[in-house]
Amino acid sequence: MGMEKTEEKIFHPQFAEPFILERHSPLLNFLDRIRDEAHRFAIAYHKKIRGKGTIKSRLGEIPGIGAARQKVLLEFYGTVEKIREATVEELLRVPGMNRRTAQTVFHFFHSPKDNHQNPGIP
């Protein structure tokens, strides 16, 4: 089904002509509310998807560090810069962090070919 926004016409694929409802029809009011809610839901969903795609962190580049661990690290340290400055022993204080993962995070920021030090990207 479809609704024309400017007029009170309801279109249905099985009928050649649209249904025309009175401007103050309870059915038209109901269908308007359904349409508005569908639009609100779609807009909220697309904003959520766009938001996830635009917020990136250098932590996402570390092998074995998923979204959950990124969140825990950022909650614990506050910034990527503070994570970068942490030692392996300090990283082990993060809830759920094991030695292997702590070493992976540390080496990501301190490897000899450290091209991850770009201060312009969090």
What's the token pair of residue 68?
Answer: 């959950």
**Could you give the percent of the chain with pLDDT greater than 90?**
39
Q: State the pLDDT at residue 118.
A: 46
Identity of residue 106: F
Q: How far apart are CA 32 and CA 54, in angstroms?
A: 33
Tell me: the pLDDT tens digits for 51-74?
655 556 788 889 888 888 998 999
Burial group, residue 88, by CB count within 10 angstroms (0-12, 13-18, 19+):
middle
**What are the tens digits of pLDDT across the range 21-51?**
888 889 888 988 998 899 999 999 888 777 6
pLDDT averaged over the chain? 84
Answer yes or no: CATH 1.10.260.40 is held by domain 58-110: no
What pLDDT, on the 0 to 100 scale, is given for residue 52? 59
Residue ranges of the domains in the chain? 2-54, 58-110
Confidence of residue 19 (pLDDT cuts 50, 70, 90): confident
Which of the two residues, 120 and 1, has the higher pLDDT score?
1
